[in-house]
Structure 1
Amino acid sequence: MTSPDHPRLLLVEDDAVSAAFLGEALRALPAQVVLAGDGAAALRALDAAAFDLWLVDAHLPDGDGIAALSAMRARRPGVVALAHTAARERSVAEALIAAGFAEVLVKPLSADALQAAVRRHLPGATGAGVPLWDDARAERALGGARHVSALRGLFHAELPGVRAEVEAAVRTGDGERLRGLLHRLRASCGFVGAARLEHAVAALHAAPDDPSALRTFLDAVEETLAAFTPVPDHG
């Protein structure tokens, strides 16, 4: 990190009201915040300084967030990026995650939610404070504890094989295969409420060449497998 106490963040946002709110919430972390109004301004900011994390609007005056991220990664590979968008369609979020964003934040969002997301993804964040299982989220997604328990059983059975595939993709340098595996695994984590593993998957997706991200991922897999228990059926 550029500063342990005051990380340096790049906020790419063209709307003045959104930029003012997001900027103030980020400075309250506390953090140093540099604002760029479009993709071209973001590239100029990257040429001038290093950043710990990027927050990129999905729709910009000179293109979309996916194109902006690609150009930014060409300048500064390996930096974690979060997308923010007013679009609520699942297909939009899936496309942004597939393009390399670690998380998609849907606007409007609270200052607390924004700050929590940034803290999760700053360099050095391990996810240790994230619970292994989020039962409430899984039950909302699947419509009840019975469905969650059934899907978690399948998830638990398949996870060792997925772990082996991820390790093989990292070992052979097959980035496309790795991104596909992590994209599918992150979706599965969301359905079954595997919160800590989902965090680790997002971090590895953002920094696939970082050995510490791989280690964190493998540790989260082991913790998730060891702590697997069916969800109590309350109904």
Structure 2
Amino acid sequence: MKPKLLLLEDEPASRHFLCLAAEALPAEVEPAATVAEARTLALSGAHALWLFDVNLPDGSGGGLLAWLRARGLRTPAIAHTAAHETAERARLLAEGFQAVVTKPLTAAAWQAAIRDALQGRDADATPGHPPQDAGDADAAEAAPVWDDIAATAALGGSATNVAALRRLFLAELPGARDAVMAAAAGGDRTAMGAALHKLRAGCGFVGAARLQAAAAMLQGDPASDPALRHFLSVAAETLQAAPAADGGGG
């Protein structure tokens, strides 16, 4: 009998990737896009494992875990986050997560973390791809628009799944770009950082290498007008290169 997993992730491309990889274990996955939705599913379903994103628009994975624990539920839980800081990992483990995984990561790494948790092993932080250095515009420009090799490897060689994920990513990209622009215009560095943080994880899953580098550069220097202009230029370039989502390189 396949284990039943509850996956909380608000970013569509990331959610689709994590679902696909978990289902291939095999497992049955119930996806949720909000804390409220995950709370309802957790209370109504007998899950073998919870997979909670750390930062959601309507709350946090840690807050949700504490709420569920207070109601007597003891399902083991994994936190997944785009943050690579050691202090963040320590905080999440202290909140009661059995393991912490960093995004983006390969399907194999995600599956290994899930297997460890299902077997009752307390895993160390499962490594994802190393965080992108802020770098500069020249370094960001040198990256390909689409890194097909990295994206296909992350999904275990499935070009079909890469194409599906990229379609989701491209559909969401204008909204993500606009959120960064609105935060920059309003001087809201917290909102800007959160939007870039989430976008970088999605970029990693679909191989949007140049945009990931530009987002990292802007996140490293959010007050920089040149970094913002470069980010917007690369976002436009990525959208214009949409045919690459069906298998072309960049």
TM-score by length of 1: 0.50
TM-score by length of 2: 0.47
